[in-house]
Every structure is written in C-alpha cells, then in structure tokens.
Amino acid sequence: MPATTSRSFSLAIPPTWNPAIRAVFFGLCLIPFLALALAVMSNSLGPDPAEHLMHETGEWVMRFMVLVLAATPLARLGWPRLARYRRMLGLFAWFYATLHLLVFAQVYIGWSGGILVQELAERPYVLVGFLAWLILVPLAVTSINRIRRKMGRNWRKLHKLTYLVAILGWFHLLSLSRSDLGEALVYGALFAVLLSYRIWLLLPNKASSQSV
C-alpha cells in the first residue's frame, strides 16, 4: 500500500494574494472620500454642506487614528493583519485631516493668513487641531521607505508622536462637542485604553533597563 502523507492545514494567506488584499484595503479606506465627493457633485450634503464636510472628514480622522493605535495590541493578541497596513492607515488619517483643514480654509477663513492667525489666537480648538495636523505632516513624509531606512531607530521615536496626535485630536473634538459629549467620551475611552496598553508594554522594559 502507498505510504500516506500528512498535510497540515494553514490559514495563512498566500503571498501572491497580498498585493490584491492591499489594493482592496486601499479602496476601502478611500470609500469615505469618494462618498463625500459624490455627495458634493450631487448637492446632497444637507442644509449645511460645510458643516457636514467638516464633521465627516474629522470623524474619519478619529476612526483611522483608532485603527492605527489598535494595530499593535491586536497583533500581540494574535491578529497581525491590521498591523501590516498600519502605515497605510496612518497616511489616510493624514489625508482626511488635510481634507478637514482644506474645507476649513476654503469655507471659514477664505484662505486668509490674517484670519487664520486670528482664529488660532482666539479659538483653542482651532489651535489644537492645527497642531495635530502639523505633527501628522512629518509622520506622513517619513513613511516613505527610503526616508524610513535613513532614519533608523529615530523613525520609531518620531512616530511615537502618533499618540500625541490622538490626544490633540480628542481635545479638538471635545471642544467642539458642546452639549453632546457622547462621541468625545467614546473616543476618549478608546484612546485611554490604547495609550494605557502602550504604557503597560513599556513598564517591563524600564524595569529591565534599570536592573542592568
């Protein structure tokens, strides 16, 4: 009788599928933008189009930030797929934050540098949001592979500022929430859990480094 061979069953995705999955993931991240563009062209943004655009773009920044920060904990819990696209998620967070800023510049300040300076001085939530976007810019630029390789270990140090972006974004949202704090509280709880997890991961490293 012929010898039987055992075959192991694996759930791993074949490497040849990875580019297709990446393209699908990219398309999913782009759907909110396409939906907003379609709504603009069809004039179906509601009675206050500017407010709708500001809210939606800002909302998607927060959602992508949650996904970026959740990638590492999920990977450690046995689901590494999201972590493989963390850089793409971060770039889309910057992309929607830039859209958010462009809508603000177009509708609320009319591309006036003087009015922008006045808004930054008089409205703390504008200042906080603008600072968050400024921090996202170098994070996006240094996501290029060539720059990342040149930076070496400094790349990881710089990208720890992602947590600061999340905190600033949350303060921006909280300042705009006024009487309805539900959404801000949800994001605050999520960011608090993810930040606490990050701090918890660093504690053993601190203890070991002090004992050396």
- d(C-alpha 146, C-alpha 19), whole Å: 20
Query: Taking phi first (over 0 means left), then psi (-120 to 50 degrees means alpha), and beta for anything else, what does residue 178 get?
Result: left
The one-digit pLDDT tens for each residue of the chain (212 residues) are 444 444 443 445 555 567 888 999 999 999 999 999 999 999 999 899 999 999 999 999 999 999 999 999 999 988 888 999 999 999 999 999 999 999 999 999 999 999 999 999 999 999 999 999 999 999 999 999 899 999 998 999 999 999 999 999 999 999 998 778 899 999 999 999 999 998 888 776 554 443 33
- d(C-alpha 100, C-alpha 179), whole Å: 22
Q: Look up tokens 């999340």; give the residue.
A: 166
**Cβ atoms of residues 128 and 79 within 8 Å:** no
Question: For 4-7, which contacts have Cβ atoms below 8 Å and span 24 or more sequence positions?
Answer: none
**Cβ atoms of residues 165 and 64 within 8 Å:** no
Single pTM value for the model: 0.86
Closest CA to 120 of 136, 106, 131: 131
Extents of the domains making up the chain = 18-203
Looking at residue 68, what is its pLDDT? 96
Closest CA to 155 of 168, 167, 169, 138: 138
Q: Look up tokens 């943004």; give the residue.
A: 45
Condensed to tens digits (0 to 9), the pLDDT of residues 149-180 reads 999 989 999 999 999 999 999 999 999 987 78
Task: Please state the separation of Cα 123 from the chain's center in Å.
Answer: 24
